[in-house]
Amino acid sequence: MRVSEQEWKEALAGMYQGHIGFDIPMSEHTSLGIGGAADVFMTPDDPLSMRNLVALLGKRKMPYMTIGRGSNLLVLDGGIEGVVISVNTFSRVEVIRQAGDAVELFVEAGVPLQKLVNFCKDNGFAGMEGLTGIPGSVGGAICGNAGSYGYEIKDVVVSVAIMDAAGRLDRFKGEGLEFGYRQSGIQPTDIVLSANLKLRTDDKDAVAARTEGFFREKKAAQPISLRSAGCVFKNPDGDFAGRLIDEAGCKGMRVGDIEVSSMHANFFVNAGTGSAADYTALMEKVAMTVQQRFGITLEPEIRLAGRA
Ligand SMILES: Cc1cc2nc3c(=O)[nH]c(=O)nc-3n(C[C@H](O)[C@H](O)[C@H](O)COP(=O)(O)OP(=O)(O)OC[C@H]3O[C@@H](n4cnc5c(N)ncnc54)[C@H](O)[C@@H]3O)c2cc1C
């Protein structure tokens, strides 16, 4: 049942600080620029408001999902039922411990990953260099164990603070979070609020050189200035989805305004006013072509959300 704007305001009065929006197009909150409207889009200002919000949603049995920077998300054209919670106001980064060459950072979930990479670069902290150029948030990176050039965020995670669907806040050690290739054991109703990360001090110029080197490689290999959600499919064991898609002849394949990038075949770009229906149709077409050519089933890396 749809809850009116007035009812929301009354239910949360005195319990919630932050922004509330209604019927918000998710195309405004995803790197692909695609997606129907979220019934409600909320950006709590602080953990207490987050807890009160989650408790209210639980009491009313309303569905919700958390979003970072929407750079790994395909929101379907029918939009999102219930509430989308943004953690983007949770944006602190602090050095909490430094001993010998070991450094521990406290980082909130809404911090853009690139901002964290730059913070590490500017301070000579090693461990994040290969994650440069990944456009998501720290929370999104932890949920999907973002990685590139042999670096994965799991390798620097000490612990993660997670709020569950009952509004309970707990801190979990990295080892217990079942990180795998572009995945973690973090549940869809869990909300990542912050993490403690371990890095090493190193020569500032060396960290900068590695970070900038990886960024140059990324820029040369991926269409990072175009609208995409990064890699569409996971790499199958021992191979690369991009190579398979390219060799199956799919570069330039198009449905509506969604096109297989001619620069990197595992990126689908929105060349204008593409829809989620176009995107999923292109995914099926490409996956079927690869299946027929190589007998390999590609699994999606991007996350799908919402109603078709
Ligand atoms: C040009 C480009 C290049 C990219 N290159 C890479 C790459 O090299 N390597 C790589 O791994 N990825 C890459 N990506 C994909 C994407 O940037 C990463 O997956 C990123 O970590 C997603 O973070 P996000 O904040 O945008 O997550 P979102 O897209 O907002 O969300 C992704 C998933 O995480 C969940 N989530 C997000 N934040 C939270 C939270 N705080 N609490 C609970 N759940 C949450 C969402 O519900 C959703 O299921 C690329 C994307 C683009 C557009």
Atom of ligand 1 lying closest to residue 131 CA: 8
CA contacts within 13 A on the Cβ side of 164: 6
Q: Whose CA is nearest to atom 35 of ligand 1?
A: 140
pTM of the model: 0.96
Kindly state the tokens that stand for 95: 């050095």
Compute the residue count for the chain.
Answer: 308
Residue pointed to by tokens 């913070």:
119
Substitution candidate for ligand 1 out of 117, 134, 149, 192 with most atoms within 8 A of CB:
134
The one-digit pLDDT tens for each residue of the chain (308 residues) are: 677 888 888 889 999 999 999 999 999 999 999 999 999 999 999 999 999 999 999 999 999 999 999 999 999 999 999 999 999 999 999 999 999 999 999 999 999 999 999 999 999 999 999 999 999 999 999 999 999 999 999 999 999 999 999 999 999 999 999 999 999 999 999 999 999 999 999 999 999 999 999 999 999 999 999 999 999 999 999 999 999 999 999 999 999 999 999 999 999 999 999 999 999 999 999 999 999 999 999 999 999 999 98
What is the maximum alpha-carbon separation in the chain? 60
Q: Could you tell me the distance, in angstroms and rounded to a whole number, from the CA of residue 147 to the centre of ligand 1?
A: 10
Question: pLDDT of 257-306, one tens digit each?
Answer: 999 999 999 999 999 999 999 999 999 999 999 999 999 999 999 999 99
Q: Could you tell me the distance, in angstroms and rounded to a whole number, from the CA of residue 170 to the centre of ligand 1?
A: 22
Question: pLDDT of 7-28, one tens digit each?
Answer: 888 889 999 999 999 999 999 9
Asked if 172 and 129 touch (Cβ cutoff 8 Å), the reply is no
SS3 52: helix
Q: Is the dihedral of CA 153, 159, 160, 162 positive or negative?
A: positive
Q: Which domains does the chain have, with CATH numbers?
A: 5-86 (3.30.43.10), 93-221 (3.30.465.10), 241-305 (3.90.78.10)
Kindly state the tokens that stand for 90: 């949770």
- The CA-based angle 238-242-247, given to 5 degrees, is 95
Asked if 199 and 120 touch (Cβ cutoff 8 Å), the reply is yes
Distance CA 189, CA 213 (A): 37
Active site residues: 182, 231, 301
Closest CA to 28 of 86, 82, 97: 86
- The CA-based angle 102-108-112, given to 5 degrees, is 95
